[in-house]
Structure 1
Amino acid sequence: MQEVAATVPELLARAASLAHSGTRKLLGIVGAPGAGKTTLGTALTKALDGLAMLVPMDGFHLDNPTLEQAGRRSAKGAPDTFDVAGYVCLLQRLRRADAVVHAPRFDRGLELAIGSAIPVPPGVPLVFTEGNYLLHDDDGWDAVRRELDEVWFIDVAPEERRRRLVGRRMEHGESRSEAEAWVDGVDMANASLVERGRDRASLVVQLDNRMPGDSRPTPERKGR
Structure 2
Amino acid sequence: MDRLELERRARALATAGGRRLLGIAGPPGAGKSTLAGHLAAALGPDLAVVVPMDGFHLAQAELVRLGRADRKGAPDTFDAAGYAALLRRLREPGRAVVYAPAFDRSLEEPVAGSIAVGPGVPLVITEGNYLLHEAGEWSEVAPLLDEVWYLAPDDALRVRRLTDRHVRHGKDPDRAAAWVARSDEANARLVAAGRPRADLVLDGPLDLGAGFVP
| TM class by smaller structure | over 0.9
**1:87-126 matched pairs, under 5 angstroms:** 87-98=83-94, 99-126=96-123
**In 2, Cα distance between equivalents of 1:74 and 1:83:** 17
Query: Aligned residues: percent identity?
Result: 52
**In 2, Cα distance between equivalents of 1:149 and 1:180:** 36
User: Is 1:177 the counterpart of 2:179 in the alignment?
Assistant: no
Unpaired segments ≥5 residues, structure 2: none
Query: 1:29 Cα deviation (Å)?
Result: 0.1
Matched pairs, number: 211
Query: 1:139 Cα deviation (Å)?
Result: 2.2
User: Is 1:71 the counterpart of 2:67 in the alignment?
Assistant: yes
Query: 1:210 Cα deviation (Å)?
Result: 2.0
Tell me if the contact between 1:8 and 1:207 (Cα under 8 Å) persists in the aligned partners. no
User: Is 1:83 the counterpart of 2:79 in the alignment?
Assistant: yes
- The amino acid across from 1:14 in the alignment is R
Which of 123, 127, 130 is matched with 2:127 structurally? 130
- When residues 59 and 8 of structure 1 are mapped into structure 2, their CA distance, relative to the original with a 3 A threshold, is same
Tell me if the contact between 1:91 and 1:147 (Cα under 8 Å) persists in the aligned partners. yes
- When residues 210 and 114 of structure 1 are mapped into structure 2, their CA distance, relative to the original with a 3 A threshold, is same
Alignment correspondent of 2:137 = 140
Alignment correspondent of 2:37 = 42
- When residues 184 and 97 of structure 1 are mapped into structure 2, their CA distance, relative to the original with a 3 A threshold, is same
Which of 10, 13, 19 is matched with 2:8 structurally? 13
**In 2, Cα distance between equivalents of 1:215 and 1:95:** 30
- TM-score, normalised by the number of residues in structure 2: 0.95
RMSD: 1.4
- TM-score, normalised by the number of residues in structure 1: 0.91
**In 2, Cα distance between equivalents of 1:45 and 1:215:** 15
- When residues 134 and 175 of structure 1 are mapped into structure 2, their CA distance, relative to the original with a 3 A threshold, is same
User: SS in structure 1 opposite 2:141?
Assistant: helix
